[in-house]
Chains A and B, each alone.
Chain A
Amino acid sequence: MMSEKSKPRIGVYVCHCGTNIAATVDVEAVAEYAQNLPGVVQARHYTYMCSDPGQTLIKEDCRALGLNRVVVASCSPRMHEPTFRAAAQEGGVNSYRTEMANIREQCSWVHHDKEAATRKAKVLVASAVAKVTHLEPLEEREAGVHPGTLVIGGGVAGLSAALDVAEAGFPAYIVEKSDRLGGHVAELGHTFPDLEPTADWLAPLIRRVEEHPAITVMLDAQVEEVAGFVGNFEVTVLQGGQAQQIDVGTIVIATGYQLFDPSRKPEFGYGRYPGVLTTWELEQRLATGDLVVAGRAPQDVAFIKCVGSRDIQLGNPYCSRVCCMVAAKQAQMVRQALPETRVTVFYIDVRAFGKRGEEFYDEAREAGVRYRRGNVSEVYRRGERLVLRVEDTFLRRTVEHETDMVVLAVGMEPRDDTGVISALLKLPRSADGFFLEAHPKLGPVDTTTNGVFLAGCCQAPKDIPDTVAQAKAAASSALIPLIRGTVPVISETAIVDAELCAGCGMCVDVCPYGAPALDPLWGVSRINAVLCKGCGACAVTCPSKAICLQQFTPEQIMAQVDVLTV
């Protein structure tokens, strides 16, 4: 049945992945074993198959030996399948005639016993060889892209991302839950590390967004539903009880954070003593100039840092990254407003990173703010005043500090509705509850959902410059599909053998995407390849076995089962 031209000529490439595989699997023995498998013309092993020399090895073999199928035994196909498909293609082998044996994630990384791991690696390679033998060449396919980006959230991150998308010439849609733009930052009077009034830079940013012809701002609006995939998202937005659909190519999530609620630390007396407030409340008091506590200006003000952050018992082990500088800012401003008042900051560590951070911390101390290293265990009332019980970690003893105003430097937490967005877009979250980036180093704005990007504090706490930088990065990544104008779509679709089809229509019922339809003239099923997502539900359902999912046909799977049960 197989023509001479498609008679399997398979190359097998076993990767050491440095020592990641080679330390646990005898790669040489695996290659030797593969050499004797049916159809295998050449089997090799190499330090890093994904490296340039590794890929060159594959390409050169494909040409020199006239290979028509490639098996790479290395990492997960979710990692490097595109790499090796491209290498095979360059060597003249159809990229869909490649198969990977996952001998790292499924073998060397999860087993210690070298003998057992080597045996398993051989079986996995045999299974890949069995499958590749039956793989048919497929064509690459592309789909068009809806030009435009949806930005969820109208804070500084969302504004910056939308502006960059619009400036590149594409429509941007900002969906904001509240009734105004600017997010949390709009409630800040001044920003560190220069005590600049926030409105000086935020108001022009908001104005540019509002006046930009390519930006649509939707306030009091929420994303209700997201369908589709990169390049072709269909988003339902609910605004004022009215649903409307927006078609976009990419999505930027900029939903921000929520402040830690200090009533979860009852020992600090928040809500019980009027003199205990959060940095957020002090920000409003500084803006109005009203610093009066219990009818008079405070003689002493104490800041407590890391409230709700770096606190394992609360489940927030992370640093919120801005509270140190917020405290330094507000302490300076209290000193400016009330030069006679003593201001003390109680800290575990001072994290004054970032450009001008350390200088700003120095300026706070020059302005007379005292820094005292100590864990505050409790706040209680003594007469008219408040008392902090502090463990001074330099003196190694417990001290009391009498004061009039206690300011809690509250940290950031993932928003309560993070789960809603996470469910809408199938986005995983990290252990801290914030959205999980695709890779901590190489993909800090990408997500595991293609075409969806993260900006700002929804990914992790960060300050304004970092937020804007990430927003601009997310915008530039979101622009890539829009500028290219096409996105690759799966070639592994289901196909119908019209000879076998009885026209029962069960595939039509079972498909969630409406891809199969009965041909009114011939009474047999036809699958619209553009709509097919390649799940294979129709193929299993078909009672005549007239449908098969390309790249996952029964012939291919059965060949794998044959090998795996030996």
Chain B
Amino acid sequence: MEPGFEDEYDLVVIGTGLTESIVATACSRIGKKVLHLDPNDYYGDLWTSFTFPQLDDWARRHVQLAGGKNLPDNGSQHQQQQQFQSQHNHDQNNPSEKVNNQTSNIGISLSKVNLTAGEMVYPWESGINLISNVEPVSYMINEAPEKQDLDKATEEEEEDVEEADDETEPWTFEKLSTERNWGIDLVPRLLYSRGAMVNLLVSSNICRYLSFRSIERILSCLPGTDELMDVPCTRQDIFNDSYTSLIEKRVLMRFIQLCLELERRPDLIEGFEGFEEQPFIEYLRSKGFTPLLQHLVLNSIAMVDPTTPTQEAMEQLKRFVSSSGRFGNTPFLFPFYGCGEIPQAFCRLCAVFGGTYCLKRTIDGVVAKDDVINSIIVGSQQIKCQNLVCSLSNVPKSLLVPRQVTNISRAIFISSGSVKDSQCAGSLLRFPGPFPILVVESSWASLIAPKGIFVIYAWCDSFTGNAKEDLLPIARKLFNFESGDEMNGKPKLLWSCFYNQATVDCSSITDKYQNLYVTSPPVNELDYDVAIEEAKSIFDTLLPDEEFLPRAPDHDEIVIEGTQTNQEIDLD
């Protein structure tokens, strides 16, 4: 029998995704008592990093949930919205009926729930599924079957002929599954070296639990081809680049210089030569940018559309330039062991300041009076709490108001080579278009895969409603997608998975309880700005007069006295 929780918490949080974890940590950090639960047996919810077997299980489970077959489904957005809607009024039925029903769902007998006048018990059903259209494919040889044995034999022969370096045997499903060094992200991100997440990690001192690898290169797909070029990011790169002419180099160099000056003198951006509201492409043309330079600046450096107003594009450029050269050639960092480390790092600080953690647990019900939740029911325990924070997938459908859902198309490719000749590079690649596609390549060098393995992520806002349809064109550019074979300079594809992830702004997604806060699923962004902003806004609502994640003291700043309380060790 495991020990029970305490009888009262300031804050109960369900879901260990990033946004909830930041809120939990910020509250714990300033001395609030936090209980943090997650129905999953892993940290991070959708923000997690999986091992290969975990990812494969996850994919199969979702294929099964969808009824075994994953037929392309263009109407998925609509369906989701209908789902929200149909459940909405479900709550209006007779509360007494609800109380009778809930005894079977809740592990505590009704007579043991302490109810004061006006309080009611409501069961807490599991929430909505945000994942759809999951299509995993393995290109690897599996164990045993005859035909595949033959394949294997011929491959081995080939290898003998080639006397392949130290490449021992081809990757098999079995071999990938037994490797332990994995950190494959469902929602991959990069961090700007001077972006919101890096700043928060440094200012809160949570960075001591993490380390990062800088992304070595930014790639660009030359228009109309499958050819990938390295985007020159520094003066040195521009100087050495073989794609750009001498004149182009000079234009680009001068432009980067201008962006740097903008960083020092933000006032310059105000009167940007009359172009502020004009499309950025117009500005670039006026400055004599060749089509190649326009392509590079628009798609790889500013990462905006041609029609983006110049002022907005310049803000993006400033962000890029101010972050580049801080830790490496490009402005970007990627966490060792995968992005799933980031929510874990927050949770750890939360625990260090007294937060209680329990995975494989969620609440079974709430006790509420009118629109205020007074306590929660976990197993056989009734726990008082001031506020409840839940990730969207942990909120009962019946509490949600209808909302327009945005669908993000995502893909994970596991390969035994880089998308462009490299032993270990981390890369960022952006395919422009009305629905721009971001591609992040990470590898074993970031300790997210066994040696020699690359993991390539792609994502975009869905325009067909189906991840595979959205992302197939770029999958074909990067790999010999249908066969998975290594040829024409494209690496061997071992495994791939497409999936759609729904997201919706949850700031007012429920109006049922005034002390229930719902966090949004991951949105389509490269860094973590939106998630941090949302977490901070919830924290500011909960505790308007408190500081958001003040710096946690280092070990040598901690004085340990006879009895410890959080206050005594908090020297800030």
Partners in one complex: no
